Amino acid sequence: MMQEALESTYSVLGRDFANAGRVSTQIKDTLKRLGVHPTVVRRIAIVSYEAEMNLVMYATRGKVLLNVSSEDITLRIDDEGPGIQDINLAMQEGYSTATPEMREMGFGAGMGLPNIKKNADEFNISSEIGRGTRLVIRVRQAA
């Protein structure tokens, strides 16, 4: 699969519910344009969207870095926010600290991080209380 390498950064603002998800649809368009396999595009789009919603719901602001190489696609999501108290707990399906406002949008049921992990070939999460969270996800290009 011949593809040009690409790296771009997108900014996401916390609490900006009107635009939540926009960056993920842009990332999806970019990957489609590059000719990435539709299954891979969909997996990255889902990962990106869940992560973007988490960022908007919980953090003050953050950045999404997209890196495309011929072998894989990497997303790195860095946010400035409260951080995650207990990552093992946050990884459990159904565990959530969401507000009713978040749930009204169809999110915040404790499915986001497990969904992200499910769609990733490599998944890395680190967090510092009071500082923020970093998520690194890698999806291999379809052989």
- By CB under 8 A, name the binding residues for another protein: 18, 20-22, 24-25, 28, 38, 42, 45-46, 48-50, 53, 104-107, 109, 111-112, 114-115, 118
Nearer to another protein, 58 or 130 (CB): 58
Least CB distance to another protein at residue 24 (A): 6
Q: Which two tokens stand for residue 94?
A: 């159904």
Task: Note whether 90 and 73 are within 8 A (CB).
Answer: no
Nearer to another protein, 17 or 125 (CB): 17
What CA–CA distance (Å, rounded) separates 4 from 116?
25
Least CB distance to another protein at residue 99 (A): 15
The amino acid sitting at 143 is: A
Q: Which two tokens stand for residue 104?
A: 């009204």
Nearer to another protein, 42 or 61 (CB): 42
Query: Alpha-carbon Rg of the chain, whole angstroms?
Result: 15
Least CB distance to another protein at residue 69 (A): 22
What residue spans of 59-105 are helical by DSSP H? 87-90, 100-104
Least CB distance to another protein at residue 35 (A): 16
Nearer to another protein, 25 or 69 (CB): 25
Sheet with 61-68, edge to edge strand ranges: 6-13, 61-68, 72-80, 132-140, 122-128
Least CB distance to another protein at residue 139 (A): 14
What CA–CA distance (Å, rounded) separates 55 from 61?
7
Nearer to another protein, 48 or 133 (CB): 48
